[in-house]
Amino acid sequence: MRELEDISLHLQDRISSLQRMVDLSVVGETGLPQNKMKKLGQELFELAGLLEEFEKCVGQQKEQLKHLKELEASFQKNLEDMQHIKDNIPAHMPRKKGPANGVESVVIKNEAAEVQAAPPQNAKKPNKSYVREMDVITMQEFESIPQYMKGRISYDQLNATVQTINTAVAAKYKILQQSVKTLNNHARKLHQRFKEQETKDTKGQYFVVEEDIREFTQMKVDKRFQGILNMLRHCQRLRELRGGGLTRYMLL
């Protein structure tokens, strides 16, 4: 921009100079001398060159202005997209799955072998407090559920139930992982009940029953809840195991 202003001022000076020369030629009776006429011609030729350069600079400035406007529009679009993302962050985000290809599996196995080869004093004990959780339902999975099965249940309501079941599972297995001696009377009774509900088919699996949902959450175990369980079975998040008058909901 400064370069354009400088050229504009320079042009004004040259035009003023030429105007004075023309005025002097009008005042004089015999006109301009030959050398002055030659000088005037040179000035006009240089002025034409400056005008051409000025037009070129104006064209460049127009292109820069056009580019800046495009950048401004692009920035505004990105800003609106980011604001939309910020205002519509899902309440439940799917978790990243483990490695699916063979190369990553080999790398992990090799790393595990190196850990096992380390001295015993450096080896960490496995985390016994780990409790498996049910993964949230993705939007793609939700849309794959038949409409007759979904009814009026929304995506957020379905995942709220997933979180509720996870809460019950976490509370149940927190009690099971503790020593009975450290538990109060109520927790001991729950611990005993949990053990009695286990079978050979539930060994190493995580499950809850309707009574656990009532014990650890505020969710109503009603017809609507049963409908949501059907949706979770459809999405392969759990399966039912019946026996001994109980329905066990096994996490997959």
CATH number of the domain that residue 185 is part of: 1.10.10.1890
Same domain, residue pair 139 and 198: yes
Say what the pLDDT of residue 16 is.
Answer: 76
Whether 64 maps to a domain, the answer reads yes
Say what the pLDDT of residue 74 is.
Answer: 87
Whether 117 maps to a domain, the answer reads no
Same domain, residue pair 23 and 81: yes
Same domain, residue pair 78 and 139: no
Whether 187 maps to a domain, the answer reads yes
Say what the pLDDT of residue 71 is.
Answer: 86
Same domain, residue pair 65 and 155: no
What are the strands of the beta sheet with 207-208, ordered from one edge? 207-208, 246-251, 238-243
Same domain, residue pair 228 and 167: yes
Please tell me the total count of domains within the chain.
Answer: 2
Please state, in angstroms and rounded to a whole number, the distance separating the CA atoms of residues 200 and 217: 27
Whether 96 maps to a domain, the answer reads no
Q: Are 169 and 206 in contact (CB under 8 A)?
A: yes
Same domain, residue pair 243 and 141: yes
Render pLDDT for 17-65 as a digit per residue (tens, 0 to 9): 767 766 666 555 455 566 666 666 777 777 777 778 778 878 888 888 8
Range of the domain at 135: 128-251
Same domain, residue pair 185 and 242: yes
Q: What's phi and psi for 34, nearest 5 deg? A: -60, -40
Please state, in angstroms and rounded to a whole number, the distance separating the CA atoms of residues 156 and 149: 16
Scanning the chain, the segments in alpha helix (DSSP H) are 2-27, 34-87, 102-117, 139-144, 147-150, 155-176, 185-197, 210-216, 223-234
Say what the pLDDT of residue 24 is.
Answer: 62
Q: Are 217 and 168 in contact (CB under 8 A)?
A: yes
Q: Among residues 63, 87, 111, which one ends one of the domains?
A: 87
- Sorted by sequence, the CB contacts under 8 Å of residue 191 that are 6+ apart come out as 175, 176, 178, 180, 183
**What single letter denotes the amino acid at residue 70?**
E
Burial label for 71, CB within 10 Å (0-12, 13-18, 19+), is exposed
- Sorted by sequence, the CB contacts under 8 Å of residue 3 that are 6+ apart come out as 57
Q: Among residues 87, 110, 138, which one ends one of the domains?
A: 87
Whether 160 maps to a domain, the answer reads yes
Say how many C-beta atoms besides its own lie within 10 A of residue 85's C-beta. Answer: 9
Same domain, residue pair 140 and 78: no
Say what the pLDDT of residue 240 is.
Answer: 94
pLDDT lower than 70: segments of the chain: 1-4, 7, 18, 21-40, 90-128
Full DSSP string of 87-131: HT--SS-PPPP---SHHHHHHHHHHHHHHHHS-GGGPPPP-TT--
Q: Are 18 and 71 in contact (CB under 8 A)?
A: no
Q: Among residues 87, 112, 141, which one ends one of the domains?
A: 87
Q: Which residue is associated with the tokens 């959450």?
A: 217
Say what the pLDDT of residue 44 is.
Answer: 72
Please state, in angstroms and rounded to a whole number, the distance separating the CA atoms of residues 67 and 42: 38
